[in-house]
Amino acid sequence: MRAAVMYGAGDVRIEDRPDPKIQQPSDAVVRVVLSCVCGSDLWPYKSMPATGTGRPMGHEFLGVVEETGSGVSGIRAGDLVVAPFTYCDNTCDFCRKGLHSSCRHGGRYGLDGVDGGQGEAVRVPHADGTLVKLPVGADSALLPSLLALSDVMGTGHHGAVTARVGNGDRVLVIGDGAVGLCAVIAAKRRGAEQIVLMGRHTARTDLGRAFGATDVVAERGDEGIARVRDLTGGHGVDKVIEAVGARQALDAAFGTVIDGGIISRLGVPQYEEGPVGPSMIMKNITLTGGVSPARAYIEELMPDVLDGAIEPGRVFDQTFTLAQTPDAYQAMTDRRVLKALITL
């Protein structure tokens, strides 16, 4: 099969790889229909040391089940399924608590002999626990939004869940990338009254407004904090969803959140230490969030996609073929593309 493999920073190649085969009774092989490039794929694209062996890329995909192992009972060949961005057994103590990202038998695509999602087919471990059947055909116009359940929409939702966004909340979403925009969808879906989106790419913040952002703040640093305070009558916001990962974004979160408020981080921090001193204690600020247990949220979010209540697939603003995947990486790195959809 053909698949995307990264050999170092700026070096993504489409090459022949062995066709995946069932190795364990709990495996399934999925023929990929749609995949995409994640913001987190850009980190190694910018910094990975050159390697002779390469690493299969991609962790968001939906496709048709081709074959299942003898222990798989929940899905069967021919089913159209979506995969969350980590595989999981859906039965361990962490999965039972809804923390599938910490599954005791889980793992990541592209590692440990498991294929990446940017390729023609993927062997999916723990297929019964991981894959969720989609009640639409492979020609449905909803596929991009259903693909978003594999990562970005579930990640934005995780931010709103862990920030405990509820009716009437004033919410700040920091970052106009695909995750930030999905966090806007999630905050609105949970009843936020005011959603301030901090970002400076007009095309993206316009989509954020379409998703439910009531205000946009282009300023950063102290100016951005002052602007958010102005927009909230001087009070600050009840909840912050931080979808960038920069220290400046964390400082903006602490600078705008009201006493008793919650900051949920979705962006992987580019720092090791943060401002958790006496001020955080005096104000009773909570710092939460993390890697999304995307699998936990698929059943909850899917009905809203199916009935059109949410359209996270709108974050995909350009479509590439698998052969064009290297161009997709570069286009996202150059910020010419928000999120690249890959059709197979």
- Closest to its own copies by CB, 40 vs 318, is 40
Q: What DSSP assignment string belongs to 171-225?
A: EEEE--SHHHHHHHHHHHHTT-SEEEEE---HHHHHHHHHHT-SEEE---HHHHH
- Closest to its own copies by CB, 81 vs 250, is 250
- Closest to its own copies by CB, 40 vs 330, is 40
Closest CA to 232 of 258, 252, 262: 258
Shortest Cβ distance from residue 291 to its own copies (Å)?
6
Closest CA to 42 of 343, 330, 267: 330
Shortest Cβ distance from residue 271 to its own copies (Å)?
6
Contact between 312 and 210 under an 8 Å Cβ cutoff? The reply is no
- Closest to its own copies by CB, 28 vs 161, is 161
Question: What kind and span of H or E run contains 265?
Answer: strand 257-265
Burial status of residue 288 (CB atoms within 10 A of its CB: 0-12, 13-18, 19 or more):
middle
Shortest Cβ distance from residue 194 to its own copies (Å)?
15
Contact between 139 and 33 under an 8 Å Cβ cutoff? The reply is no
- Closest to its own copies by CB, 109 vs 320, is 109
- Closest to its own copies by CB, 13 vs 108, is 108
Question: What residues make contact with its own copies under the rule CB under 8 A?
Answer: 94, 97, 99, 101-102, 162, 250, 259-260, 265, 268-269, 271-278, 280-291, 293
Cα(69)–Cα(183) distance, integer angstroms = 36
Shortest Cβ distance from residue 91 to its own copies (Å)?
16
Cα(258)–Cα(299) distance, integer angstroms = 33
Shortest Cβ distance from residue 261 to its own copies (Å)?
10
- Closest to its own copies by CB, 212 vs 236, is 236
Shortest Cβ distance from residue 60 to its own copies (Å)?
18
Shortest Cβ distance from residue 161 to its own copies (Å)?
11
> Do you know the residue count of the chain?
344
Helix axes 202-211, 178-189, angle to 10 degrees: 20
Dihedral over alpha carbons 41, 43, 49, 53 (to 10 degrees): -10
